[in-house]
């Protein structure tokens, strides 16, 4: 089963959801805001990929951080900040089994859909 994590009004999440639906692929959607962060494997993502891959450093949320927060970023700080401000997470996050992708790339989705 594919799980797509994100925020429903994010344009990239909308593209990913549209692609999955157009290709008839079943998926479960987890909205960071509506469904909360309690069941999101954020710590696992950070441990496996590092904060540089998990956080979107081009986002408005990232730009709103202080220079001190940005310069002192590590996995623990990323976990604390992204738990409170999930818009820091690169979206969408798509998982299927042991495979995880950040962002939307059609080639990766084709592979994920198998």
The catalytic residue positions are 10
The arrangement of strands across the sheet holding 2-6 comes to: 27-31, 2-6, 93-96, 99-102
Calpha distance 30→89 (Å, rounded): 13
Calpha distance 104→65 (Å, rounded): 25
First to last CA, the chain: 11
């Amino acid at each position: 089963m594919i799980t797509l994590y994100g925020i429903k009004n994010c344009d990239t999440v909308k593209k990913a959801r549209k692609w999955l639906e157009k290709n008839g692929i079943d998926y479960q959607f987890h909205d960071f805001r509506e469904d909360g962060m309690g069941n999101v494997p954020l710590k696992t993502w950070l441990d496996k990929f590092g904060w540089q891959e998990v956080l979107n450093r081009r986002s408005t949320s990232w730009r709103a951080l202080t220079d001190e927060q940005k310069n002192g970023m590590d996995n623990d700080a990323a976990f604390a900040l992204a738990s409170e401000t999930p818009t820091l997470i690169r979206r969408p996050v798509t998982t299927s089994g042991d495979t995880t992708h950040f962002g939307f790339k059609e080639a990766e989705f084709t592979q994920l859909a198998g």
